[in-house]
Chain A
Amino acid sequence: MATYYDIFGQKVQYLSSDPANVTEGQVWYNSTSNTAKYQSFVASSSWATGGNMNDANNGNGGGDSQTSAVALQGTLGSVTTVEEYDGSTWTNGPNSSNTYGSRSAGGASASAGLIGGYTNSPFTTYTALEEWNGSSFSGGGSSNTPGYGQGTCYGVNLNSLGWVGRDGPNNTANEHYDGSTWTTVNPSPPGQRGGNLAGVLTSAIMASGFVPPNNTTVNSFDYDGTSWTAITNLSPGDDSLNSGSGATTSSAYMKYGGNREPSLGRIATSDFWNGSAWSSEVSLPAPRSGSNGGTATSYTGALMFGGTPSGTTTFEFQAAGATTKTIATS
């Protein structure tokens, strides 16, 4: 059998970490992860199915990548079991303390927060934060203003979360969390609440949201930690709530799926924001909403899990362009 050296005239590089500036076709062995890898190129974006969740779940969570994500909350009054994703399988973890509906999660797979929520009879909204460290929950600082709304919390770890424009009595409240205390800062754009938030405290995006009385809007905003600046609107029909997102800054964000209001149904379309313009990305195989499965590190690792319909489904996004793949032995 011919070896790599026989074919290409050189040995596979043996490296302690993945190299920078790799070229298409380059092969190397990562001695830290004990995996052989190569740089590939894909001509078009795609959504593939990932592992199914154990429980029908609203999929409200965070994560680092498609191989390290966490779903922190289910539906009102029922699922509180955490599920963790390793790229192929969801594994049940501990339960969160509260069964509030429509809580919002943000952060990474081992450093995330689950904030707010509501209960019925009488309708009540909450300020409680539960902190997730990758293995257990503990109580965090309560927000100054109660509320709920799945896509409204953002950030890459527990020490820098934002919660903004949530539903509830003060629906433009904007707060920053430093790991112990929530601080109220400039409110979100007037009247726009429940939007899809992603990014970090100094560079975030709010895509769509509710405007009075109960309509979703194509209006979107960039947030620099202090001020809100209107950006280009989404295309008509792509306004939606509870859609997935993935971003580390406000200039590399993807919005996918969600539900349009009032009563306009779910959508399957995906839109990518590069910091200056929206472009259409490949659609999900079916309209979905209720999910918030963006990963914290990159839109290219976008993951959509749980939601409606069939709340156990997971979809994994792969962007067109260069991509690093692991060489399997079977």
Chain B
Amino acid sequence: MAKTYQYCVAENWGKGFITHADARKVEFTSFPGNVWRVNAHNQDANKWVAGVAGTHKTLSEAQAIVDAEVTQAQADWDAIPADDPRKTEGSPEYTPRPEDITLEE
């Protein structure tokens, strides 16, 4: 099956990282660990990855980066005391436990 997406790691430096012209030509999705998903087999996407000095990652490599970030976030959440407002539903600080993320090919 032809892959739909490609992955890279790139740090969002702010203004100009994704321009409106980029966003009209490429479908962007970000994940934990500075992992970005863009279209595969797409010259504009390839140019964007090169332009932001992104490091290409295979699906499994990208998944490992995301997994590590999510696992750490889950461990941080688990370490919060049970009576902390961040774990109390209804509290304005309540934050649900980070969920696993599965990347698509």
Contact = CB atoms under 8 A, between A and B. Distances in A.
Nearest to A318: B20
A265 interface: yes
Contact of A43 (B16, B24, B31): B24
Interface string A165-191: 001000000000000000000000000
Contacts of B12: 49, 52, 310, 313
Main secondary structure of the interface of B (DSSP, over half): loop
12 contacts: A48-B18, A48-B19, A49-B14, A52-B12, A52-B13, A52-B14, A101-B92, A149-B92, A285-B23, A285-B29, A286-B29, A286-B30
Given A52-B13, A120-B85, A265-B99, A167 B92 contact: yes
Contacts, number: 64
Interface in B54-105: 85, 89-90, 92-93, 95-96, 99
B37 to A, nearest CB: 9
Contact of A263 (B16, B93, B96): B96
Interface in A30-82: 42-44, 46-52, 76
Interface string A297-316: 00000000000111001101
Interface of A: 42-44, 46-52, 76, 88-89, 101-102, 118, 120, 148-149, 167, 213-214, 262-263, 265, 282, 285-286, 308-310, 313-314, 316, 318
Contacts of A50: 14-15
A220 B68 CA distance: 39
Nearest to B18: A49
B14 A309 contact: no
Contacts of B96: 263, 265
Contacts of B92: 101-102, 118, 148-149, 167
Interface residues of B, number: 25
A118 B95 CA distance: 17
Interface in B1-34: 12-20, 22-24, 28-32
Of listed A102, A308, A309, residue having the most chain B CB within 10 A: A309
A214 B12 CA distance: 34
B62 to A, nearest CB: 14
B82 to A, nearest CB: 15
Given A263-B96, A286-B31, A313-B12, A214 B89 contact: yes
Contacts of A282: 23
Contacts of B90: 213-214
B93 A76 contact: yes
Given A44-B24, A49-B12, A265-B99, A285 B18 contact: yes
Nearest to A46: B23
